[in-house]
Amino acid sequence: MSIPDFLVCVECESPCYIFEWKEGVLTEAICEVCGNDDPDSFVTPDDYDALAGG
């Protein structure tokens, strides 16, 4: 189980480097750009590529 280098905020599509990753689950994250702090509103870069590539 690897921790991603960063997450992508789905609200503003910015990379987010401030997050807590515990046992493979994102527990906390905050976006400095839009203030989003809902862990459900962040995805890993791989997941974001999957979403964007749809």
Interface with Zn ion (CB under 5 A): 9, 11-12, 31, 33-34, 36
- What does the DSSP assignment read for 16-45? E--EEEETTEEEEE--TTT----GGGEE-H
Nearest distance, CB of residue 33 and Zn ion, angstroms: 5
The residue (of 1 and 41) whose beta carbon lies closer to Zn ion is 41
- Beta-carbon neighbour count of residue 30 at 10 Å? 17
Nearest distance, CB of residue 37 and Zn ion, angstroms: 9
Nearest distance, CB of residue 8 and Zn ion, angstroms: 9
